């Protein structure tokens, strides 16, 4: 559907592709019998989501797609922008058609395992996305929910890897634990690549369409202002342990009495004026708090002030508006997982869930802890007790 809408007029390097297409057709034509179709290399689609039709001129669209191709290449032939720190070898394993390469090397992992839901461009709008709730993650905003980093900080690569290994329970995202370790590394690298590319694209849209900078674009400016700040943001938590969550000491829960005490403390904190968990998750932990109109960062742009505005805005996106449902803890399904001793749950209560209204109780960059980090463990124990799960 919409997937093909913008591709033709805005395709990067149209002339080049046509020439390539002709050559490929000639080559294949001599090998193929009737019914054989020449391979059409897929292209990244320009991110027009949220912008009204006609708000991006053809000249602007071409300037953006050409610059992105110069820096990041194509879905078949990814390129590593200078200074981005991306690993070309890993990207090559994930990129390309899903058929692999003739020498038997690993190629095309992303299209084999991910693109059906997450889309060739990582826009979360692959062919199956329309029927999924929640929608698959759109990587282009550079926001990931399940991380071990502080509020507002990019995920560690090991966090993305964890999501691949565990899957996301309660959603269509399965576990990819059957893949080889290096294949997982390749997919993590490719998600990071699509994400840096996506944020660079948002920067380019801002500069070219909204700010109307003079064309042609200056590559060094795009690298300095677009690519490198994003690459640095990814690198920051890998380098600086201070940006990762440091859990407080875990209170002992070795005896039934200790666990019961921790749960009781957690129950009080859960309802406290400071933590305010009840506001969204409800006094019973069933996800029925007083906040009803909650949306995540991917859906907020589809929401207007009036119903008419919302209808008009939602039409600009490929996927429908989805309201956020705070988790019902009694069901015991935790999308981000529970983790050893409840550590993954702890991290989400500490730093919040990125891209959602869920704020964190632990200290963040520039903000102080709302309750002492060791007390967050009590909330973990209480939340788990609601579904009778033990940490």
Partner 1 sequence: MGKRFTRRDLLVASAGATAGLATGLAVPHVVIAQSDQWGDLVGRLVYDGNPPERKKLKVDKDVDCCGKFDIRDESLMVGPDHGLANVFVYLRSRKVQIAPELAESAPKQVVLDNRDCIFKPHCMAIWYPQQEYAIINSDPIAQNVAFSPLGDTPANIILAPIKEGQDDPNTRATWRFNRAQIVPVPIACNYHPWESAFVLPRDNPYVAITAMDGTFRIAKLPVGTWEFQAWQERVGYLDLPQWPKGRFEVAIRPGVNDLGTIRVPAARFERK
Closest distance to partner 1 from the beta carbon of 125 (Å): 20
Closest distance to partner 1 from the beta carbon of 66 (Å): 15
Contact 9, 48 (CB under 8 A): no
How far lies 215's CA from each of 47, 61, 108, 218, in Å? 19, 11, 35, 8
Radius of gyration of the chain (CA): 23
How far lies 24's CA from each of 70, 74, 98, 172, 377, in Å? 22, 17, 18, 37, 60
Closest distance to partner 1 from the beta carbon of 236 (Å): 10
61 or 109: whose CB is closer to partner 1?
A: 61
Note the Cα 115 to chain centre separation in Å.
13
218 or 246: whose CB is closer to partner 1?
A: 218
154 or 166: whose CB is closer to partner 1?
A: 154
Closest distance to partner 1 from the beta carbon of 253 (Å): 26
7 or 300: whose CB is closer to partner 1?
A: 300
8 or 214: whose CB is closer to partner 1?
A: 214
Closest distance to partner 1 from the beta carbon of 323 (Å): 13
Closest distance to partner 1 from the beta carbon of 330 (Å): 23
Helices (H), 73-205: 88-94, 109-113, 115-118, 157-166, 181-205
Which of 351, 380, 359, 379 lies closest to 237, judged by CA? 351
Contact 82, 70 (CB under 8 A): no
- CA–CA dist 146, 167 (Å, integer): 11
Summarize as ranges the residues that interact with partner 1 (CB under 8 A). 143, 151-153, 199, 202-203, 206-207, 210-214, 217-218, 220-221, 226, 229-230, 233, 273-274, 276, 279, 290-291, 293-294, 297, 305-306, 308-309, 312, 352, 354-355, 357-361, 364-370
58 or 273: whose CB is closer to partner 1?
A: 273
């Amino acid at each position: 559907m919409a997937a093909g809408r913008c591709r033709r007029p805005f395709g990067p390097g149209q002339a080049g592709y046509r020439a390539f297409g002709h050559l490929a057709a000639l080559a294949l034509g001599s090998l193929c019998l009737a019914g054989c179709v020449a391979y059409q290399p897929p292209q990244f689609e320009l991110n027009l989501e949220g912008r009204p039709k006609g708000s991006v001129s053809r000249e602007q669209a071409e300037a953006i797609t050409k610059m992105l191709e110069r820096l990041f290449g194509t879905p078949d032939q990814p390129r590593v922008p200078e200074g981005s720190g991306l690993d070309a070898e890993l990207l090559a394993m994930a990129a390309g058609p899903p058929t692999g390469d003739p020498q038997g090397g690993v190629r095309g992992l992303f299209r084999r395992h991910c693109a059906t839901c997450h889309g060739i461009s990582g826009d979360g709008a692959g062919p199956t996305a329309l029927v999924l709730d929640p929608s698959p993650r759109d990587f282009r905003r550079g926001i990931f929910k399940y991380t071990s980093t502080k509020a507002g900080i990019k995920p560690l690569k090991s966090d993305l890897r964890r999501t691949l290994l565990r899957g996301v329970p309660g959603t269509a995202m399965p576990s990819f634990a059957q893949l080889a370790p290096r294949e997982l590394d390749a997919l993590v690298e490719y998600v990071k690549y699509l994400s840096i590319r996506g944020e660079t694209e948002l920067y380019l849209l801002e500069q070219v369409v909204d700010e109307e900078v003079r064309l042609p674009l200056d590559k060094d400016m795009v690298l300095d202002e677009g690519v490198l700040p994003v690459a640095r943001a990814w690198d920051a938590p890998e380098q600086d342990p201070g940006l990762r969550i440091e859990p407080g000491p875990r209170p002992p829960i070795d005896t039934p009495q200790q666990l019961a005490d921790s749960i009781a403390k957690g129950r009080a904190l859960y309802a406290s004026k400071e933590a305010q968990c009840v506001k969204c998750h409800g006094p019973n932990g069933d996800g029925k708090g007083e906040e009803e109109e909650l949306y995540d960062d991917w859906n907020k742009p589809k929401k207007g002030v009036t119903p008419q505005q919302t209808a008009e805005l939602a039409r600009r996106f490929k996927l429908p508006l989805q309201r956020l449902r705070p988790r019902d803890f009694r069901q015991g399904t935790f999308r981000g997982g529970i983790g050893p001793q409840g550590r993954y749950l702890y991290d989400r209560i500490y730093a919040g869930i990125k891209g959602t209204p869920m704020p964190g109780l632990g200290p963040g960059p520039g903000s102080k802890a709302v309750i002492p980090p060791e007390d967050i463990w009590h909330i973990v124990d209480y939340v788990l007790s609601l579904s009778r799960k033990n940490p």
